[in-house]
Amino acid sequence: MTSFLQNIVNALQWGSFYALIALGYSMVYGVLMLFNFAHGDIFMVGAYIGFFVSTGLVALSALGALTLPSWLILTLTIIVAMFLTSFVGMLVERIGYRPLRGAPRASAAITGLMIGIILETGNLALLGAQRVSFPALIESVTYNIGGVFVTNKKVLIVVVSLLLMFALHQFVQRTKWGMAMRAMAVDFVVVPLMGVPLNTIAALTFALGSGLAAAAGILFGVAYPVLDPYMGILFGWKAFVAAILGGRGSILGAALAGFLLGFIEIFVAAIFPSTLRDLIAYSIILLILTFRPHGFFGEAYSAKLRL
Amino acid sequence: MKSFKIFALLMIAVFLLGACGPAAPETIKIGINAPITGDIPKVGEGSKYAAEMWLADIEAAGGLEVGGKTYNVELVIEDNESKAESATKVNTKMITQDEVLVIVGPQSSKQAVPAGEVANNYSTPMVSPWSTNPNTTLDRPWVFRGCFLDPFQGPVVANFVSDEFGFTKAAVLYDVASDYPKGLAENFKAAWEELHGEGSVVAYESFTTKDTDFSAQLTSIANSGAEFFFAPQYYNEVALIVQQAHELGWDAPIVGSDSWGSAETVELCGEDCYGLFFSTHYAAAGATGATKEFIDRYEAEHGYVPDDVGALTWDTLHLVQQAIVDCGEITGDIAVDRQCVRDALASITDFNGITGDMTFTEEGDPIKCAVIVRISDAGEYEFYKSACP
């Protein structure tokens, strides 16, 4: 029983990353009908930017130039890195996708793969192949609650992820920009004719998705403090699975599917031989998609728009 | 357009001709197949630095003297990206294009096992300094290694834990997709069950390369009643495994293998790794004689204490050097010279290296001792015990 509860705690943390990254996929896919395969690498870029910002702030604190408590450093790191990574996302959209907006879908998808490779190898060329160690911003404290071990990091990761998802939901549902995004998701040919600036909305979508990926990257650095240039690839693929499983453009769907993926992976590893984890986990997901091809919250009309 | 195509073809032709130029007979080429990028770049860096130090010594002596004639030595250092397929490509290129006399590397078994196949097929001597998986040299007369084997290392760890702590229940966490951890996990399990009976390995958990979350496996291990667990993993995973285990309330020992010995393990892992034990090839802290000379020189040049890969690469290059010198003559016919170096390597006895004495067996494996190292509270690798065959 305690191991069951312990695995729920583990799965909540692991699922948070999938959910945050899946949101970025889901939004871009929803609004622009575009597979942004570079998204996993934007997550990696976000983690590295977070690494530089936090290392810089820690160094400044150590020099005595400014005295910041570590929780403030973490908050600042998340905000600054989200902001900077948004620009990376917008840049990717401007350079990689906008020139190809009229091109066949496949060309745009392949562009994403290429941008991903450029980001990975660019990082490799700039920083070399050494792993970097994310600074320990918060002292790890472990609480033993009836045999279940919960760390302050785990709580922080889950809480911050949920807060960000809630904020995104409010933005999309309550603001004019959010309304424009939702309208675009229904028909991105007609809506621009009504005066909604397609390029602005596209850039905004990329900025939001990349910001969330950066937050995921920093939280990842807090939980798993070893960063490498290829860390985003597998994460990107799996989060993409979550985005599709959640349903096109559905924020709630992507978030739920992200957590579901985390739960399936953790519990398969806990119950079956861990060697078979991904084999069993992704067979289950294939089965779900067979019965719900549009995902949990996807709408049937999306297929008609496919070019 | 047509003229462009002709130009492009000409360029390709020139390039190919250039690449196929005959090698100067005054030069001996030695290939280094190392993971400069990829999962374990620190291993590649250590190999490269040790090789360059060796070359500097040769150059300072004016070259390598073989049978009364002095030859220049050239190192062909190629990156295998820590991938099996790249390691075989690198070997093929170095053997067929660069025409190296002998290859040193690849380091980890994941690359050394398939790359050894290539070297053996092309009848080119290859010595892996660090690969401990038996399959690297098994039934391959052209392939050698500079270190002990996992069937030896597995029992060393099992015996050490039994003697030191008196434990009877073990758990293992390993990467099932990589030759080295998988082989060593199996060897350890066999040795432990021989000591403590069937079922004494109470949890045998695995993951696949590039995984970062081990919480499910560690939860299973924690609830299995194991008194310690063995994690024969590379340095980048060690940090994550040890930290996550501690966060899940694990406070029993975690024991490692020679792959922990990288200079970067403690840097990534921090205080979580202090006080842990692992089996390895040499201990840097408290070394004496030639070993200390090497360590001091390496530290002065590169700013950190060399790990076991650096020391083993250094030893391996000296082995290769001795084999070439023993050969007595470089004919310039690469096939003849490779045969000669292979035979010389196979007959080396009592080689005195900085990681211990070596004598090669039939299989091309040296007989040498292992050491148990404790990570001190200052993060240094302290000698704790040695275990000889």
The pLDDT value given to residue B77: 93
pLDDT tens figures, B98-146: 899 999 989 988 899 999 999 999 999 999 999 988 899 988 999 999 8
Domains along chain A with CATH numbers:
2-131+152-305 (1.10.3470)
pLDDT at B22 over 50: no
Position B357 in a domain: yes
pLDDT tens figures, B316-370: 999 999 999 988 888 888 888 999 999 998 888 888 888 888 888 878 888 888 8
Predicted confidence band at A307 (pLDDT cuts at 50, 70, 90)? very low
CA A196, CA A178: separation in Å to the nearest integer?
A: 12
The pLDDT value given to residue A255: 92
Do residue B105 and residue B156 come from a single domain? Answer: no
CA A55, CA A135: separation in Å to the nearest integer?
A: 7
Predicted confidence band at B12 (pLDDT cuts at 50, 70, 90)? low
Q: Domain ends where: B228, B254, B280?
A: B280
Residue of B nearest to A228 (CA): B39
ipTM of the complex: 0.85
Do residue B172 and residue B239 come from a single domain? Answer: yes
User: How far off is chain B from A17, nearest CA to CA, in Å?
Assistant: 11
Do residue B123 and residue B66 come from a single domain? Answer: yes
Do residue B333 and residue B313 come from a single domain? Answer: yes
CA B104, CA B78: separation in Å to the nearest integer?
A: 11
Whether A124 and B44 have beta carbons less than 8 Å apart is answered as no
> Which residues of A make CB contacts under 8 Å with B?
2-3, 6-7, 10, 13-14, 124, 128-131, 133, 136, 140, 142, 144, 149, 151, 153-154, 220, 224-226, 228, 230-231, 234, 265-267, 269-270, 273-275, 277-278
Position B248 in a domain: yes
- Helices B215-222 and B235-247, packing angle to 10 deg: 60
pLDDT tens figures, B183-195: 999 999 999 999 9
Position B235 in a domain: yes
Do residue B169 and residue B275 come from a single domain? Answer: yes
- Say which amino acid occupies B293: E
Instruction: Please give the sequence-ordered ranges of beta strands (E in DSSP) within B102-179, or none if there are none.
Output: 102-104, 126-128, 143-145, 170-175
The pLDDT value given to residue B379: 87
pLDDT tens figures, A90-115: 999 999 888 888 888 788 888 889 99
Predicted confidence band at B15 (pLDDT cuts at 50, 70, 90)? low
Position B19 in a domain: no
More confident residue, A125 or B19: A125
Position B307 in a domain: yes
Interface contact B216-A136, CB threshold 8 A: no
pLDDT at B1 over 60: no
Q: Which of B42, B43, B202, B213 to mutate to test the interface with A (most CBs of A within 10 A)?
A: B213
pLDDT at A305 over 80: no
The pLDDT value given to residue B172: 95
pLDDT tens figures, B30-79: 999 999 988 888 889 999 999 999 999 999 988 888 888 889 999 999 99
pLDDT tens figures, B162-184: 999 999 999 999 998 888 899 99
Position B378 in a domain: no
Quick one: DSSP state of residue A135? P
The pLDDT value given to residue B47: 93
Token readout for A294 is 């549009």
CA B263, CA B258: separation in Å to the nearest integer?
A: 12
- Say which amino acid occupies A111: T
Position B388 in a domain: no
- Say which amino acid occupies A282: Y
Token readout for A61 is 């604190």
**A266: chain B residues, CB-CB within 8 Å:** 213, 215-216
**B36: chain A residues, CB-CB within 8 Å:** 129
Do residue B237 and residue B303 come from a single domain? Answer: no
Residue of A nearest to B241 (CA): A224
CA A101, CA A307: separation in Å to the nearest integer?
A: 12
pLDDT at B3 over 80: no
- Say which amino acid occupies B331: T
The pLDDT value given to residue B263: 78
pLDDT tens figures, A36-55: 899 999 999 999 999 999 99
Do residue B166 and residue B264 come from a single domain? Answer: yes
CA B106, CA B60: separation in Å to the nearest integer?
A: 27
pLDDT at A303 over 90: no
Token readout for B51 is 């090789």
Residue of B nearest to A220 (CA): B212
**φ and ψ at residue A255, rounded to 5 degrees:** -65, -50
Predicted confidence band at B10 (pLDDT cuts at 50, 70, 90)? low
Long-range pairs, A88-92, Cβ under 8 A, ≥24: A88/A42, A88/A45, A88/A46, A88/A49, A88/A210, A89/A42, A89/A206, A89/A207, A89/A209, A89/A210, A89/A211, A89/A213, A90/A203, A90/A206, A90/A207, A90/A210, A92/A36, A92/A38, A92/A42, A92/A206, A92/A210
More confident residue, B292 or A128: B292
The pLDDT value given to residue B24: 44
The pLDDT value given to residue B239: 92
Interface contact B247-A273, CB threshold 8 A: no
Do residue B163 and residue B207 come from a single domain? Answer: yes
Interface contact B206-A270, CB threshold 8 A: no
Mean pLDDT of chain B: 88
Please, which residues 162-181 of chain B have a Cβ atom closer than 8 Å to chain A? Answer: 176
The pLDDT value given to residue A296: 84
CA diameter of chain A: 60
Interface contact A142-B216, CB threshold 8 A: no
**A6: chain B residues, CB-CB within 8 Å:** 219, 248
pLDDT tens figures, B68-85: 888 999 999 999 998 999
CA A275, CA B174: separation in Å to the nearest integer?
A: 10
Bond preceding residue B106 cis, omega within 30 of 0: yes
- Among A169, A23, A15, A159, smallest CA distance to A78 is for A159
User: How far off is chain B from A279, nearest CA to CA, in Å?
Assistant: 11
- Among A37, A131, A134, smallest CA distance to B235 is for A131
B264 in contact with A, Cβ within 8 Å: yes
Do residue B157 and residue B245 come from a single domain? Answer: yes
**φ and ψ at residue B184, rounded to 5 degrees:** -70, -35
Interface contact A270-B41, CB threshold 8 A: no
Shortest CB distance from B236 goes to which of A2, A131, A220?
A: A131
Please count the structural domains in chain B: 2
The pLDDT value given to residue A203: 93
The pLDDT value given to residue A300: 57
Position B316 in a domain: yes
| Domain coverage including residue B211 | 150-280
Shortest CB distance from A226 goes to which of B217, B247, B268?
A: B268
Do residue B305 and residue B275 come from a single domain? Answer: no
**φ and ψ at residue B8, rounded to 5 degrees:** -60, -45
Tell me the CATH number at B124: 3.40.50.2300
B223 in contact with A, Cβ within 8 Å: yes
Q: Is B106 exposed, middle or buried (0-12, 13-18, 19+ CB in 10 A)?
A: buried
Do residue B308 and residue B203 come from a single domain? Answer: no
Chain A with chain B: Cβ pairs closer than 8 A: 94
More confident residue, B50 or A301: B50
Long-range pairs, B65-69, Cβ under 8 A, ≥24: B65/B325, B66/B28, B66/B324, B66/B325, B66/B327, B66/B328, B66/B329, B66/B330, B67/B327, B67/B328, B67/B329, B67/B330, B69/B330
Q: Domain ends where: B280, B305, B324?
A: B280
3-state secondary structure of A188: coil
CA A144, CA B248: separation in Å to the nearest integer?
A: 9
Do residue B55 and residue B156 come from a single domain? Answer: no
pLDDT tens figures, A136-157: 888 888 888 888 899 999 999 9
